[in-house]
Amino acid sequence: MPATVETTPCLPGLSPVAGKPVLARFDGEMLSSDGGLLALREVEKRLGIAAQLAACIDDPRTPEGVQHGLDEIIRFRMLMIAAGYEDGNDADWLRNDPMFKLAMERLPEAGDLCSQATVSRTENLPGPRALLRMGLAMVEHYCASFRTIPNRIVLDIDDTFDAAHGAQQLCLFNAHHNEYGSQPIVVFDGDRRMLAAVLRPACRPKGAQIVKWLRRLIDAIRGHWPRTAIMLRGDSHFCTPAVLRFCRARRLDYIFGVARPRRCANTSSRWRPAPRRARNRLRERKSGGSKSSMMAQQAGTASSGSSPASRPGRWGAIPASSSPA
pLDDT at residue 239, as a whole number: 92
Chain mean pLDDT for the chain: 81
Dump pLDDT digits (tens) for 277-297: 666 676 777 676 555 555 544
The predicted model scores a pTM of: 0.68
Domains in the chain: boundaries: 36-124, 148-256
| End-to-end CA, the chain | 133
Band of residue 276 on the pLDDT scale cut at 50, 70, 90: low
pLDDT at residue 310, as a whole number: 45
Task: Give dist(CA 3, CA 141) in Å, integer.
Answer: 55
Task: Give dist(CA 247, CA 230) in Å, integer.
Answer: 10
Chain-centroid distance, C-alpha 236: 12
Task: Give dist(CA 53, CA 96) in Å, integer.
Answer: 25
Q: Is the pLDDT of residue 3 over 60?
A: no
Asked if 82 contacts 41 with a C-beta cutoff of 8 angstroms, the reply is no
The matching CATH number, chosen from 3.30.420.40, 3.20.20.150, 3.90.350.10, 3.40.50.2300, for 148-256 is 3.90.350.10
pLDDT at residue 2, as a whole number: 54
Reduce the DSSP state of residue 37 to 3 states and report it. Answer: helix
